[in-house]
Structure 1
Amino acid sequence: MNSQFSILRLLQLAAVPVGAYSYSEGLETLVDVATINDRDNLQKWLQDSLKFGAIRLECAIMVRAFRAVNVGNLAALGYWNAWATVTKETEELRLQSWQMGRSLVRLLQDMQLPLQTKESASVQELMEVCGNNCNFAIAFGIAAVKLEIEEEAAVLGYLYSWAANLVNAGVKLIPLGQTSGQQLLLDLHSDLTFTSQEVLRLEDDNLSSCSWGLALASMAHETQYTRLFRS
């Protein structure tokens, strides 16, 4: 595929409207209790998440879905979807992943993407393997293959869309100015690049994270007095 078309498809996938803007992934709780109250705190939280947190696992699962679809290994695709579900530490995070996954799957089906080869499974066939609850990381991996996006670019796109969503949430919640938010995203570029390379090298036995802070913030969000976001 022409490289320009590939870039455009990556940009479209990274900004696909699946409802990510309605989730803060515990950030709303952290701002409410003043754990995060300025740009520096937010940057540190995002950097630590990229180094140790659940986003690394999510991205690694996306890579495994990408590879499974590429080689037609439907059993592996189903396995990693189930794995992604059971590793969600709270109901809110699990429901977020399912809702965003369903939204992306619906878009893929409506877009009627062509098969890469006669042997390629259709989006519908891939979804039957995952059942009713397809996690977002799985759906993103499927979409990247169907849109003929290279693996490394897909990883960067996945991480960037996550970071951009949380920075935008921080802009609203802390609040930060738009310029400050964009500068923060720019400052995260090296972290995003480093994490993407680490994720691509992760072996199955090394899939782990330290995300108890996210889990506690997510659990507390349910009883927060006022809420702008769903998680």
Structure 2
Amino acid sequence: MSSKQLLYLLQLTSPTLPVGAYSYSEGLETLVTQQIIIHKETLQNWLIQSLKYGSIRVESAVMLRAYDYFINNELESLIKWNQWLSATRETQELRNQSWQMGQSLLKLFNELQPEIKPISIKLYPNCNYAVVFGIAGAIWNISRQELLLGYLQSWSSNLVNAGLRLIPLGQTDGQKILIYIQDTLIQVSQEILELKDEDLRGWGWGLSLASMQHETLYTRLFRS
């Protein structure tokens, strides 16, 4: 990876990217309220199990397919996978999160990379964040492996930040979690790179239930 590609990846995975990721907990708020996740160990275990078996695996695999189809100029296949990913969202909150973040990133890239506008018209308004992320990585010529690892790290960091506010945890605990799950991130990224289409499935029923119950919480800090 060149220095410029590295800087592009850091920009794409930065918490300053204006896509609103900080406003979502992906069911974590429900789990903390129910006292299922109560400290550093339970949070890092939730992250590891989600990475190994949850919907983030499927989402990341679709991101890679969007990357490949954009490079190969196969727009119809790209649109098909975007629709497929939307259909796999188990709850309205998770689907709205994916669409809202995707639209925000798409709008940003319309300004940063005007050549994406013809594709934006076909994808708007229900474009998933993972799909736009893959397109962005292709435009900026980031390698598939590094882009995938960056995507998983960004997802993990966002949930750790949510955990810091919800449990609550100290900043040092958050950094310890991110270091602890590094080997899992690397292992899972290698597995995702090799997933075939027929292998795209997850077992994230815990996330589904937590997301469904989020709207019934007495108070809420997050949108999911």
Which range, TM-score by smaller chain?
Answer: over 0.9
Query: How many pairs align?
Result: 222
Q: Does 1:133 align with 2:134?
A: no
Q: Amino acid of the residue matched to residue 26 of structure 1? A: G
CA distance in 1, matches of 2:87, 2:145: 26
Q: Does 1:160 align with 2:153?
A: yes
Q: Which runs of 4+ in 1 moved over 3 A?
A: none
Q: Does 1:12 align with 2:11?
A: yes
Cα shift readout 1:86-110 (whole Å, capped 9, x = no counterpart):
0000000000000000000011011
CA distance in 1, matches of 2:75, 2:111: 22
Contact 1:77-1:129 within 8 A present in 2 as well: no
CA distance in 1, matches of 2:112, 2:123: 19
Following superposition of structure 1 onto structure 2, how do residues 144-223 of structure 1 map, counting pairs within 5 Å?
144-223=137-216
CA distance in 2, matches of 1:200, 1:129: 27
Structure 1 partner of 2:24:
23
Structure 1 partner of 2:65:
64
- Following superposition, the deviation at residue 128 of structure 1 comes to 2.7
Q: Amino acid of the residue matched to residue 4 of structure 2? A: F
RMSD across aligned C-alpha pairs, in angstroms? Answer: 1.0
TM-score by length of 1: 0.94
CA distance in 2, matches of 1:176, 1:144: 32
CA distance in 2, matches of 1:88, 1:128: 22
Structure 2 partner of 1:142:
135
Cα shift readout 1:182-230 (whole Å, capped 9, x = no counterpart):
1100111111111111111000000010011000000100110000000
- Following superposition, the deviation at residue 112 of structure 1 comes to 2.8
Choose 2-11 or 92-101, whichever is displaced more. 2-11
3-state secondary structure, aligned to 2:133: helix
CA distance in 1, matches of 2:69, 2:113: 20
CA distance in 1, matches of 2:134, 2:118: 15
3-state secondary structure, aligned to 1:100: helix
- Following superposition, the deviation at residue 129 of structure 1 comes to 2.9
CA distance in 2, matches of 1:75, 1:129: 10
Q: Please list every run of 5 or more consecutive structure 1 residues that lacks an aligned counterpart in the other structure.
A: 114-121
Contact 1:98-1:134 within 8 A present in 2 as well: yes
Contact 1:38-1:174 within 8 A present in 2 as well: yes
- Following superposition, the deviation at residue 166 of structure 1 comes to 0.1
CA distance in 1, matches of 2:205, 2:192: 20
Q: Amino acid of the residue matched to residue 219 of structure 2? A: T
Contact 2:103-2:124 within 8 A present in 1 as well: no
Structure 1 partner of 2:221:
228
Question: Identity of paired residues, percent?
Answer: 51
CA distance in 2, matches of 1:86, 1:127: 20
Cα shift readout 1:143-201 (whole Å, capped 9, x = no counterpart):
10111111111101110100000000001100100001011001111111111111110
- Following superposition, the deviation at residue 82 of structure 1 comes to 0.1
- Following superposition, the deviation at residue 111 of structure 1 comes to 1.1
Q: Please list every run of 5 or more consecutive structure 2 residues that lacks an aligned counterpart in the other structure.
A: none
